[in-house]
């Protein structure tokens, strides 16, 4: 299959989802070594989960299918340019390559505007819309010290 074939599958998932009540108009396919290991659509509303974007759902399925948290060697095909959360998940999953169809401006015109998140991230933490309060700073270091000293940890 070609990159366009995998993208057609992602777009088909998004189209089917757009015509239903299961979530938004987004679909994603993850491929490794020429085989589809996971595919998913957005299920935010049906799952009552704001993190259930197509890319995140596909990453979760791929990790389960491959028995790993590291998706190195994988490519994700997504019907739309990933939002900041999905982009972060792609980086954390170590996915090698992203192909997308619609871009963030197309998504914004359809009511899915994530530009405010990019703007928020560029602001100092004290100026963001969501209030952040740092407390228990000293106690909060304990888990990190324990992690650094754990000789049996699995780095990721």
Please identify every residue annotated as catalytic.
55
Conformation bin of residue 102: beta by default, left when phi > 0, alpha when psi is -120 to 50: beta
Q: Residue 82 gets which letter from DSSP?
A: P
CA distances from 45 to 23, 29, 57, 80, 140 (A): 5, 20, 13, 18, 34
Q: What is the DSSP string of 95-125?
A: --EEEEEE-HHHHHHTT---HHHHHHHHS-G
CA distances from 78 to 6, 51, 55, 65, 87 (A): 9, 16, 7, 19, 11
* Separation CA 95–CA 112 (nearest Å): 24
Length of the chain: 156
């Amino acid at each position: 299959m070609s990159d366009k074939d995998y993208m057609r599958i992602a777009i088909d998932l998004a189209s089917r989802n757009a015509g239903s009540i299961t979530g938004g108009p987004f679909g994603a396919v993850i491929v490794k070594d020429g085989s589809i290991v996971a595919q998913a659509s957005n299920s935010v509303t049906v799952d009552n989960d704001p993190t259930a974007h197509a890319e995140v759902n596909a990453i979760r399925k791929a990790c389960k299918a491959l028995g790993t948290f590291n998706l190195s060697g994988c490519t994700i095909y997504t019907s739309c340019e990933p939002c900041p959360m999905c982009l972060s998940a792609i980086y954390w999953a170590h996915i090698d390559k992203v192909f997308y169809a619609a871009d963030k401006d197309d998504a914004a015109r359809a009511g899915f505007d994530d530009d405010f998140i990019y703007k928020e991230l560029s602001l100092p933490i004290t100026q963001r819309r969501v209030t952040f309060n740092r407390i228990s700073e000293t106690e909060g270091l304990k888990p990190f010290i324990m992690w650094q000293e754990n000789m049996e940890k699995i780095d990721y």
